[in-house]
Structure 1
Amino acid sequence: MNKISLPICLNNPVFRRLYAAQTISLFGDALTLLGLALLAFELAGASAPIVLAGALTLRVSAFTLLSPLAGAIADRFDRKPILIITHLGRMLLVCLLPFVNSVWQIYALVLGLNIFNAFFAPTYQATIPLVTGADEYPQAIALSGTTYQILGVFGPGIAGVLALFIGARELFFWDGLSFIIAAILIATLPGNLRADVTAEPRSKIQSVGADIRVGTAKLWTDAPIRYGLMMQLVASIAGAQILVNTVNYVQGTLHQTAVQYGWVMMGFGLGATLGAMAIGIYPQYRSKIVTILGGGGLISASLIGANYVGLAPLILLWSIAGFGQSLINLSLQTLIADRTPTEMQGRVYGAHFAWSHLWWAGAYPLAGWLGTTFPDRTFLYGSLIGLGLLAIVQLLLAPDRFAHTHPEFSHVHAHTHDLPHQHEHLGNLERADPIHQHPHLHSQLRHTHTYADISHHHSSSAHHH
């Protein structure tokens, strides 16, 4: 197996500039998250957790409802202006946050921020395979994921230091500056970021609706992608337990301080960072399906004894959980790029972004109920639920775990209409012409091929449009 080092993808000047823009805006996001927590405490006092929980719900709702639409738009338009507009829109909104004086204004601005973010995130994810080669995009995806995790761990700490010197509300202006810099970097990218030059740039509402259905259908009809998506449901159950109930366990059961709580959560983030780095170094190790299964097992099993350990073992367990979560998330993101034609990736990434956040919308209330109903066994029960669901997914949905997956590909072939074979074509194709050409899509799961695999009938009974 040939190992591909991370610097190779950074030799791509387009991806390098795109990655720099993402890194800068992610640092700005860290400023926003910490600033929001401080602002919520300033305005709501002891009710600050309720305010933050409401903001989190708005975030998940915006992603779930709008990401499929964002993916459909990303496949029909030049993605460069989409990325620029979403950065500038967030810049304007975060610069309004220093002036808020009531909780409803926080909700309104957070909703607006995440509407723009719902359009940015899937568009950016779908753009990585567009600007990188087949030997680059697994490492490019992993590098982006690693950067996201690292800034998630260390960004709030850096933001906290800045807040000591410049004040909590002033953090938002620095965040706005980061979005401006990122937008400028994207604006200087050469050419356009159009995925399918043959697609109509303006489409009817019905066409956009059809695009959304195409992205969702791809998720649920492609066996490896469907398997990975359901494993993300497994990971969300354990992940929500960690995010919702760790603070009560550390400060309530273990009688530690907020500082020790920060150490535990840093362990989770560092584990996720190591998982992202592992995916980047060993992108083709065994099979992505095996990697996803391993990630689901790690994050679910790491919780099973967490209610009965002290601080140091808890940090280790949460590091294992973070490692498992990255194995699932980044392997699935790469799998989508492997198995989806370039002109469809925006729709599929958008649909995936929505469904994966829908899992968290259900996992958060479950974690809250377990934490209040079974406070001394919440992690144990969460682990058992996750492991049970993992077993069901593995038994019912797992594709051949050791099959070598190929990207989907298409070719154009001549096609003749006889009398029994009539159908409509999109575009301006003259139906009166009985002989014409159109693309034909192939998808293979196994590395071993028979003559039947590579011989294609183009009869009316075997050919699908």
Structure 2
Amino acid sequence: MTRLPRWLEGLENPVFARLYLAQTINLMGDALTWLGLALLAFELAGEQASTILAGALTLRVTAFVLLSPVAGAIADRIDRKRLMVTNHLMRMGIVCLLPWVTQIWQIYAIVLALNSFYAIFTPTYTATIPLVTTEQQRPQAIALSSATSQLLGVLGPGVAGSIAAWVGTRQVFFLDSITFLLAAILIVTLPGRMMVNTQPSPQTPLRLWQDMKTGLSCLWLDPLIRYALALQFIAAIAGAQILVNTVGYVQSTLQLGKLEYGWAMASLGMGATLASIGLGHFRNRYHPIVLMTGGTLLIALALLPAHQVFFSGLLLLWATAGIGQTLVNVTTQTLIADRVSVEMQGRVYGAHFALSHLWWALSYPLAGWMGNHLATYFFYSSLLGLGLFVIWFAIFKPYQLMQLKRGLWHEHNHDHNDMSHQHHAHAATQHNHLHFHPAP
């Protein structure tokens, strides 16, 4: 029997293969949603459409930051399969409202509702990958999911645009809703239930708050993950600079057109995709600290000479930046899977999804301000990233982090009802404590 290439080995797992196909269809639906929204905004507001989309993106990130920790806590307490199916069906219904939109405020309301459910779905899906894959399949599965996301980020808008031109702006949303239905059907067919806690406790507001704190605490207490989060802030600063200011640089400074802008952004996506494909091989040869640190330097240094090169050089730099983004972000996701027990991964991935998008929420306005006030904004953004890198390097001492033992974070329930614990002054019967268990 012919074996699949290393970067596709996760698809040898039939459960992950079906989950991955559902996610791919979901990503295509997301591309249809945003392209349809852009066309609808232009139909309603003309040249003010960019303002509407900027507001919609702000609402999207806000929903991610506020709701992802809640989603992670819920995902560890109920059947994840049921949660993902419900999520797809709700988004299907919400998308079907878009063809009847006539007011701008209705776009904002629907975007907020859609992305509230998206904020619940994404960390749930991410935390489910380690649940359905083996330790050997897990890195390739996470990298493949990331590569597909990056690739559809490049190709999805073009495909969606072709579909919209064929069926019409408002009709595209009905086709969009079908993608969510197909994804829901695929997840329904997954075997069994997907629960990490077979005896879940009642989900009270206090329990939910404790679960959210557990996810955030685990991110903060683990030195490796804490360093990864710090590096993701640098990656977000550089990434936001590219996403916000490339269009102006290509069309105004370089005096090129929309086609060249599309190629520039495609280079970023293709670099990220190629890095995701090759990451499984490099992961076995290099420590995660090396991969994340190298990726951060790549994306920060890629911006440094951007104002001094011709368009072909810019393509190479943006592809390098895409490689750096993947080395930081995918390695961080894999690191969480390697160092957090399956029973807690929903909460930790939810907290991580919120914090990583908080970095972007801070980086987008910074990139906008630099683009409006500085002539060589890519250069100064690179200096800012490199300066933060020097500070993080001095604080976290990554060369020492490489010596830390492997192990898993677990949550333990401590019962204080017995006589030996009556000296405690609190009345609660149980407390949950985080512990790190080093691997043998």
TM-score class, shorter-chain normalisation, is: over 0.9
> Amino acid of the residue matched to residue 253 of structure 1?
T
Distance in 1 (alpha carbons) for counterparts of 2:274 and 2:430: 51
C-alpha displacement at 1:82, in angstroms? Answer: 0.7
Instruction: State the distance in 2 between where 1:422 and 1:316 align.
Output: 65
Partner of 1:459: none
Change (3 A) 1:428 1:326: closer
1:434 counterpart residue number: none
- The change in CA–CA distance for 1:68 and 1:85 in structure 2 (over 3 A counts) is same
Letter in 2 for 1:397: F
8 Å contact 1:153–1:266 — kept in the other structure? yes
- Tell me: CA distance 1:411–1:59, structure 2 relative to 1, closer, same or farther (3 Å): closer
Counterpart residue identity of residue 187, structure 2: I
Separation in 2, partners of 1:363, 1:439: 34
Pairwise CA distance, 1:405 = 5.0
Whether 1:40 and 2:26 are equivalent positions in the alignment is no
Asked if 1:84 corresponds to 2:112, the answer is: no
Distance 1:282 1:422, change over 3 A: farther
Residue deviations 1:395-450, cap 9 Å, x none? 102442533752316699x9998858856898789xxxxxxxx9994434xx9xxx
Change (3 A) 1:285 1:169: farther
1:367-420 Cα distance to aligned partner (Å, 9 max, x none) = 01000011x2111111111111111111102442533752316699x9998858
| 1:69 matched residue in structure 2 | 70
Change in Cα spacing, 1:188 to 1:123, as seen in structure 2 (3 Å) is same
Deviation, 1:4, is 8.2
Which residues of 2 match residues 197-212 of structure 1 at below 5 A? Answer: 197-200=198-201, 202-212=202-212
2:269 matches 1:275: no
Kept after mapping to 2: 8 A contact 1:287/1:403: no
Equivalence for 2:132: 131
Aligned partners of 2:415, 2:88: CA distance in 1, in Å? 45
- Letter of the 1:303 partner, please give it: L
Query: For this pair of structures, how many residues does the alignment match?
Result: 434
Please report how far the alpha carbon of residue 282 of structure 1 lies from its aligned counterpart in structure 2 after TM superposition. Answer: 2.9
| 1:65–1:409 Cα change, 3 Å | closer
Instruction: Give the whole-Å Cα distance in 2 for the aligned partners of 1:110 and 1:165.
Output: 24
**Cα offset, 1:168, TM superposition:** 2.1
What displacement does 1:10 show?
1.1
Q: Does 1:443 align with 2:437?
A: yes
Larger mean Cα displacement after TM superposition, 266-275 or 43-52: 43-52
CA–CA distance in 2 between the matches of 1:226 and 1:428? 28
Give, as a single letter, the amino acid of the residue that structure 2 aligns with 1:325: Q
Mapping for residues 376-387 of structure 1, pairs under 5 Å: 376-387=375-386
Distance in 1, Cα, partners of 2:171 & 2:411: 55
In the TM superposition, what is the alpha-carbon distance from 1:283 to its structure 2 partner?
Answer: 2.7
Instruction: Tell me, yes or no, if structure 1 residue 99 matches structure 2 residue 93.
Output: no
Q: TM-score, normalised by structure 1?
A: 0.88
CA distance in 2, matches of 1:419, 1:115: 46
When residues 280 and 169 of structure 1 are mapped into structure 2, their CA distance, relative to the original with a 3 A threshold, is farther
- Match of 2:76, SS? helix
Q: Secondary structure of 2:6's match? A: coil
Name the residue aligned to 2:360.
360
Contact 2:344–2:411 (Cα < 8 Å) also in 1: no
Rounded to whole Å, the distance in 2 between the matches of 1:179 and 1:280 is 30
Distance 1:57 1:88 in 2: 24
In the TM superposition, residue 182 of structure 1 has moved relative to its aligned partner by 0.3
Runs (5+) with no aligned partner, structure 2: none
Q: Which TM-score applies when normalising by structure 2?
A: 0.93
* Per-residue deviation, residues 304-345 of structure 1 (Å, max 9, x unmatched): 111222211111111110110011000000000000011110
The amino acid that maps onto 1:90 is: R
Quickly say closer, same or farther: Cα 1:50–1:73, change in 2 above 3 A.
same
User: Contact 2:218–2:434 (CA<8 Å) still a contact in 1?
Assistant: no
Q: Deviations over 1:246-277 (max 9, x none)?
A: 11111111111111111101111111111111
The amino acid across from 1:144 in the alignment is: S
How many Å separate the matches in 1 of 2:38 and 2:146?
24
Distance 1:311 1:94, change over 3 A: same
The more displaced of 273-282 and 12-21 is 273-282
Q: CA deviation at 1:169?
A: 1.9
Equivalent position of 2:319 in the other structure = 319
Q: 1:253 and 1:295 mapped to 2: Cα distance?
A: 28
Percent identity, please. Answer: 51
**3-state SS of the aligned residue for 2:303?**
coil
CA distance in 2, matches of 1:366, 1:314: 22
Q: Which amino acid aligns with 1:217?
A: S
Separation in structure 2 between the aligned mates of residue 306 and residue 220 of structure 1, nearest angstrom: 35
1:169 is paired with a residue of what secondary structure? coil
The whole-number CA distance in structure 1 between the counterparts of 2:141 and 2:267 is: 24
Which deviates more, 401-410 or 268-277?
401-410
Structure 1 residues 113-152: aligned runs within 5 Å: 113-152=114-153
Cα 1:427–1:189, aligned 2, differ >3 Å: closer, same or farther? farther
Question: CA separation in 2, counterparts of 1:404 and 1:349?
Answer: 22
Contact 1:287/1:401, CA 8 A, preserved across alignment: no
Work out whether residues 286 and 402 of structure 1, in 8 Å CA contact, stay in contact via their aligned partners in 2: no
Distance 1:219 1:410 in 2: 13
1:29 alignment counterpart? 30
SS in 2 for 1:408: strand
Query: Relative to structure 2, which stretch is displaced further, 33-42 or 384-393?
Result: 33-42
Does structure 2 conserve the Cα–Cα contact (< 8 Å) formed by 1:4 and 1:281? no
Amino acid corresponding to residue 327 of structure 1 in structure 2: L
Deviates more, 1:187-196 or 1:30-39: 30-39
Give the Cα separation in 2 of the matches to 1:420 and 1:29. Answer: 53
Q: Any conservation in 2 of the 1:142–1:277 contact (CA below 8 Å)? A: yes
Contact 2:303 2:381 in 1 (8 A): yes
Unaligned runs of 5+ in 1: 430-437, 448-453, 455-465
Displacement after TM superposition at 1:81 (Å):
1.0
Kindly indicate whether the alpha-carbon contact (under 8 Å) linking 2:228 and 2:292 is maintained by their aligned counterparts in 1: yes
My pick for the range that moved more, 155-164 or 224-233, is: 155-164
2:76 partner amino acid:
D
Q: 1: distance between equivalents of 2:247 and 2:409?
A: 48
In 2, are the aligned partners of 1:41 and 1:47 still within 8 Å (CA)? Answer: yes
> Could you tell me how far apart the structure 2 residues matched to 1:419 and 1:152 are?
58
Paired amino acid for 2:41? A
Query: Shift in Å at residue 45 of structure 1?
Result: 1.5
Equivalent residues of 1:9, 1:139 under 8 A apart: yes
**1:307–1:90: structure 2 CA closer, same or farther, 3 Å change rule?**
same
